[in-house]
Amino acid sequence: MSARATATSPAAAPGEKQKGTRLTPRASILAFVVFVAAIFAVAPARAYLEQRSQQQRLAQQVTELQQENDALQQRLDDLHDPAHLEQLARECLGLVSPGEIAFVPIQRGRAPIPPSCD
C-alpha cells in the first residue's frame, strides 16, 4: 500500500484529526428542499389526523344515537299495543275493568302508597 492511501484511511494514526465531511452545494439544496417540504407537510398531516379523530367520534355518536332511536321506537311500538296499555293502566293508574273490584292493602298507621310509574 502506498503512504498516501494509509494517511487518508480512517485507521491511519490515532493522533491525526480527520477532516469533517463537507456539505456540497447540491446536498445543501437538497437538504433545504426536504426541510421546506417537511414544514409544508406538517399542517395538512395535522388537519388529516384531527379530521380522522373527529370522524371516529361522530361515528361513535351515530351508533349511540341509533341505539337510542331503536329503544325509543320499541317503546313507541309498546305504547301502541293495547295489552301493554292495559297493563300500564292497571299498574300506574290503578284502573280496573268493569265488574272487577280493586283492593288496596293499607298498613296500620300509614297512608296508602300510590303506585309509581316512570
In angstroms, how far is the first alpha carbon of the chain from the final one?
Answer: 99
Q: What is the mean pLDDT of residues 46-59?
A: 96
Q: Cell triple for residue 5? A: 492511501
CA atoms lying within 13 Å on the CB side of residue 93: 9
Q: Cell triple for residue 114? A: 300510590
Region label for 79, one of left (φ > 0), alpha (ψ between -120 and 50) or beta (otherwise): alpha
Of 116 and 66, the structure prediction assigns the larger pLDDT to: 66
Domain ranges within the chain, ordered by starting residue: 27-92
**Among residues 1, 26, 28, 25, which one has the least CA distance to residue 12?**
1
Q: Is the pTM of this model over 0.85?
A: no
Confidence of residue 15 (pLDDT cuts 50, 70, 90): low
**pLDDT over 80 at 88, yes or no:** yes
CB 104 within 8 A of CB 98: no
